[in-house]
Structures are given as C-alpha cells and as structure tokens.
Amino acid sequence: MLEYWNPLIERMPVDELEKMQEKKLKHLVNYVYQHSDFYKKRFDEAGVRPEDIQTLDDLKKLPFTYKSDLRDTYPTGMFCVPNEQLVRFHVSSGTTGKPTVVGYTKNDIDGWTTSLARAMTSIGVGRGDIIQIGYGYGLFTGGLGAHYGAEEIGATVLPTSSGNTERQIELIQDLNSSVIACTPSYFLFMNEVAEKANVSIDKDTNLRVGIFGAEPWSEEMRARIEQATGIKAYDIYGTSELSGPLFTECQYQDGIHIWADQFLIEVIDPKTGEQLKEGERGELVITTLFKEALPLIRYRIGDITVINKEPCKCGRTHPRIMRVLGRADDMLIVRGINVFPGQIESVLMTIPEVGEHFMIVVDRVNELDVMKVQIEMTDQAFSDKVNDIIDLEKKVASALKSVLNIAVKVELVESGTIPRSMGKAKRVTDNRNL
C-alpha cells in the first residue's frame, strides 16, 4: 500500500509547488542579504540585489557557493544566526582539506527530520519497524540524522552506530531488526561476517529493508545485495552541508525524490555553469529553502546526476535525481579518459565470479598512467587452477575495456585481502599524486 507522510505536500500540483518555491526563494535572498556578511558581499560583487529575484527563472542571476567558501570562512563565517540560536553542530572529517562546520537551529533540525520522515514513509517503513542504525553517530551526520527521522515516524530505533560487526548481527537476530541503515559497503561486510557465523540474513533474520547511502553504489550492486540477503535495498542521498541524509527513493526504486518545498535543484554544466535541460547529465546544484543557520544559495555539491521531473508512479510530484555517480572530483582521469569508480563497480557486479570487494590502483609508470583493478573472487568461483584464474582476469579486463575504452590490468587477490569498510568505502588508491 502507498503511504505518505504529508500527502498534501508530497502530491501537490507542480504549479503550486513552484509558486511556493518562488515565494520561499524571494524570502531567502532577502534573509541572507540581511543576515550574512558573506552573502551580502557575494551578491554585491555579482551586482545582484535581492529585489532582482522575483521568479524561479531569476535563480540563474545568483552567484554560486562552493565547499571552498565554507572552508574559507571556517568555522562559522557563513552562518546567518548567532551561536546561541544553534542547537547542534556537525563537522565533516576534513580528509580532503579543512573540515566544514554546519550549524542547526531547532527549525533546521525539524526540517531535516521532516524530510527523512517523508522519505522513510515512502519506502514503507514506519511504526512497528525496528530500525538498526549502523551509520556513525557523532560529528558525522548519518547516525543522528537517520535516528531523528526514524523516531519521528514512530519506529523503534536501535542506535548501534558503525563497527562491532558480530554484535550487529547478534542484535539483528535478538531484537528482530526489520530495517538496517548503513553504507552499502558496510552491509556487504556485515553479510560476510554473518555468513561466516552461519547466519543467513535471508532465512535467520527479520530484516526486510536496507537504507543504503553516503557513498556511490550501482544498480548492479543493488541486485547483488537484494539477491544475497532477500531484503529490499533503497538508496538514500544527502550531504552534511545540506543537513545530512535527506532523500530516498520510493518503493518504485526509480530515482530519489527531492522535496521541492524544501530544496531547489538545478543541474549545470560544470565547465560553463549553464543550467542543463531535464534529462541531461551534469553537476547538481542545490538551494536550501528552509534553513536558518546556514542557508546555501546555488551550492555546488559537485555530485554528478540527472534530473527527472516526470510524475512518479507513487503519486509524488516532486522532482527526482537519478543515481548519483559520485562527485566530479571523485572522477579519475586516466590517460585523458574520464573514469568514475562507479562505472567500474557496475561492470564488475555483472560478472558472477567476481566478489563485491575491489580496489582501483592508479600509478604512473614511465610517464604513462596505469590503472589496475584488484578483485576478490566469490568463494563459489574460487579456483586453484592457474588457467582458470588467468581466464577470469582476461574476461574482467575485456569487460572493463569495452565500457571504459581504456586498458585495465586485472589482478585477482585472495578473499579478505581488500580492506573492508564500516563507513564510506575507499575504492581508489591513486599513487600519481604522491
């Protein structure tokens, strides 16, 4: 049965939704102009005044904001409210530079929670479900974000956080968890640990839904997960700058619904900054329509996706984004050819002998880029015969070449050799920048 958290909003006719967006956008530009020196300066430099923004079409007159702006104004230079109005901070790990700090007012937390309550309801999760949250709790937004959404819909939360994998399996069994929320790579690892302990997620547990995100993953990986564990695997997307985890697919698993009353989305050509048409692949840009502490105007997240405004079979009228391929800066350029790690995953997951864990290693040898993919075989496919191994390496290399248009060296490694992840998986070792 189809359920909605707020049917009036979720099924609102598109023209009404757009009117609402227009009103909120006008309010937003005035608000940031008055409350943030950062935005005032940025608007002034671009020669835009709040009154220039009257329609949604005027959005393109506004200057972009970037992750580097958050870093340059570290920690709170872009905030529009004084610290005493904040109820929480989250801080990014800063693995690729200075960390970014996001502050939340009470209303910001409520808006975030509402977004997730709608999302979780749209995948048929609600009261009576036991949601085990295996995203990290703490400065990372995954744990607490999912937690608030799950409590809002009346589900029971089991806040395991990430790690302690044997105990996660025990609790799935002992407390009858019906939903698991964690990164897809961590769930694969959990399944591996369960199998070693002779526990079948499919037969020995009540798990029926997975809420997987925080990292790119492919349709082919979804097929593998669903087939191996008997659960329905849903994609969840969000970023810490926008709040944290925010949006999921609905039960039709056909794109991620972005709540248009809360966020305005565009897809642009990353080189020219021009808006692209619906259906064209480009860089996602989001404007927040409800946030008070850290509103973002035309924020260039850097994720590559496609917008789909077709009405969804579920009856929701809000636009969808199709599976996120990753950030533009996750893209590898190997001998001048663009390669997303997700493309490699898609190819590997169609080859039955290949297991779910892999590592892409890029080196520069004699001034030439060389890409190697290390993969583990599935236990069923494991063979001691050298010829079988060579044949499989050739098969995988040729499948990768036909999609990527570049020669890839394939190396089969022993099961368990590739590091497992309990959070975001690290799939690439690029030795060229060392």
Q: Alpha-carbon distance 383 to 18, whole Å?
A: 58
The three-state secondary structure class of 333 is: strand
Query: Which residue, 92 or 262, is less far from ligand DLL as judged by CB?
Result: 92
Query: Which residue, 141 or 288, is less far from ligand DLL as judged by CB?
Result: 141
Query: Which residue, 165 or 240, is less far from ligand DLL as judged by CB?
Result: 240
Beta strands in 48-204 (DSSP E): 88-91, 101-104, 130-133, 156-158, 179-182
Q: How far apart are CB 68 and ligand DLL at their closest, in Å?
A: 15
Query: Which residue, 218 or 396, is less far from ligand DLL as judged by CB?
Result: 218
Query: Which residue, 50 or 423, is less far from ligand DLL as judged by CB?
Result: 423
Q: Where along the sequence are the contacts to ligand DLL (CB under 6 A)?
A: 92, 135, 141-142, 213-216, 235-240, 244-245, 301, 303, 324, 326-327
Distance of CA 30 to CAs 26, 35, 345, Å?
7, 9, 45
Torsion of CA 98, 99, 100, 104, to 10 degrees: -150
Write out the two tokens for 30. Answer: 């005035």
Give helix then strand counts, H and E, for the chain: 12, 20
Q: How far apart are CB 8 and ligand DLL at their closest, in Å?
A: 26
* In the block, residue with structure tokens 């959404």: 149
Are the C-beta atoms of 377 and 353 separated by less than 8 Å? yes
Write out the two tokens for 274. Answer: 């021009």
Write out the two tokens for 233. Answer: 């695997």
Query: Which residue, 133 or 396, is less far from ligand DLL as judged by CB?
Result: 133
Q: What amino acid is encoded at 54 in this protein?
A: Q
Q: Alpha-carbon distance 351 to 29, whole Å?
A: 50
Write out the two tokens for 220. Answer: 């082919």
Query: Which residue, 133 or 418, is less far from ligand DLL as judged by CB?
Result: 133
Q: How far apart are CB 422 and ligand DLL at their closest, in Å?
A: 13
Q: How far apart are CB 334 and ligand DLL at their closest, in Å?
A: 20
Q: How far apart are CB 93 and ligand DLL at their closest, in Å?
A: 7
Q: How far apart are CB 123 and ligand DLL at their closest, in Å?
A: 13
Q: How far apart are CB 145 and ligand DLL at their closest, in Å?
A: 6
Query: Which residue, 213 or 282, is less far from ligand DLL as judged by CB?
Result: 213
Write out the two tokens for 40. Answer: 């005032």
Q: How far apart are CB 142 and ligand DLL at their closest, in Å?
A: 3
Write out the two tokens for 192. Answer: 């591996």
Q: How far apart are CB 200 and ligand DLL at their closest, in Å?
A: 26
Looking only at the bridges linking them, the beta strands covering 244-248 and 232-239 are: antiparallel
Cβ contacts of residue 159 below 8 Å, gap of 6+? 133, 137, 143, 147
Write out the two tokens for 173. Answer: 């069994």
Query: Which residue, 135 or 187, is less far from ligand DLL as judged by CB?
Result: 135
